[in-house]
Amino acid sequence: MDYRQLGSSGLRVPALSFGTATFGGSGPLFGAWGHTDETEARRMVDICLDAGVTLFDTADVYSNGASETVLGAAIKGRRDQVLVSTKTGLPMGDGPGDWGTSRARLIRAVEASLRRLGTDHVDILQVHAYDASTPAEELMGTLDTLIAAGKVRYAGVSNYPGWQVMKAQAIADRYGWPRLVAHQVYYSMIGRAYEADLMPLGADQGLGALVWSPLGWGRLTGRIGRDRPIPAGSRLHDTEQFAPPVETDHLYRVVDALEGVAADTGKTVPQVAINWLLRRPTVASVIIGARTEEQLRDNLGAVGWALSADQVATLDAASDVLPPYPHTPYRQQEGFARLNPALV
């Protein structure tokens, strides 16, 4: 397993990490993803550790805390062998104090996560979504307090707008507080919007990308194609309304390219899709998920080999989309492109 620095921090993380949204799954979204129990979770953790995957990602909102509880049981007795990443900020109830990132709520949420995980600290805490009701100074000050108390080692965000990331970094610099070092983002061959603003921001500000849903919400598993509609039993039947959107023609164009490269390399479609992501700038770790041991072992096969330059070019061309304004003219007009060749 390749290990990489997480952004500008001193923390080294594996190129592949394991997402535990399937652990203890319940409810319309997470129940459709999977419902791995403690025994199955320990087996998944065993396989990951044998492969060098030491980072495990969860969130308090995953099955209302059940994911954290099952993960805590699965790593019991070997906490010093793993890195634990969790997220908070999304609603955990209907009360006024059950959502957001105010000082009171954030401290209470972290303490609850630590109890469920059975540990005294999390290695990476990420704010799960931007909370417009909490001032950035309050958020960054609270993260500083949690880090100083030893309950959190490193802080990051997830699904954040770029201007708020920059604001948070500026506030951290102003007061001498720890900076954000991670951004957990959606990024896949059928979802490259991350590249327009958040990728260059991450490179400039030292945020490593922790990539969620690298297979495009299950669309790049190799089970869907031009002549293969969504199969029976796919979670997409129950969860597509929550998924990042993609145009059907674009999806099929990417799948066609992936299948061609997979045939050339002797790898599977998911392995090729994940390997492509691992080559991209700012990517620190790609979060893989699995409901079964077979799925997990297949995803682990995404490392240990490299795509050729021609194969990368084929995949780049098939997955490329014109970015939205203000990036469009830098791709379409010579004068704009000459000023910023890196954006082309």
Catalytic choice (62, 130, 160, 194):
62
- Alpha helix (H) ranges present in the chain? 30-33, 38-51, 66-74, 103-117, 136-148, 162-175, 198-205, 236-239, 248-265, 269-278, 293-300, 309-319, 328-332, 334-339
Distance CA(143)–CA(125), nearest Å, equals 9
Report phi then psi at 339, rounded to 5.
Answer: -70, -30
Distance CA(160)–CA(171), nearest Å, equals 16
| Residues 6+ positions from 27 with CB-CB distance below 8 Å | 63, 64
287, β-bridge pairs: 17
13, β-bridge pairs: 4
83, β-bridge pairs: 55
Reply yes or no on whether 62 is catalytic: yes
Pair 183, 195: CB distance under 8 Å: no
Distance CA(313)–CA(315), nearest Å, equals 5
Distance CA(185)–CA(183), nearest Å, equals 6
Distance CA(18)–CA(16), nearest Å, equals 7
Provide the annotated active-site residues: 62
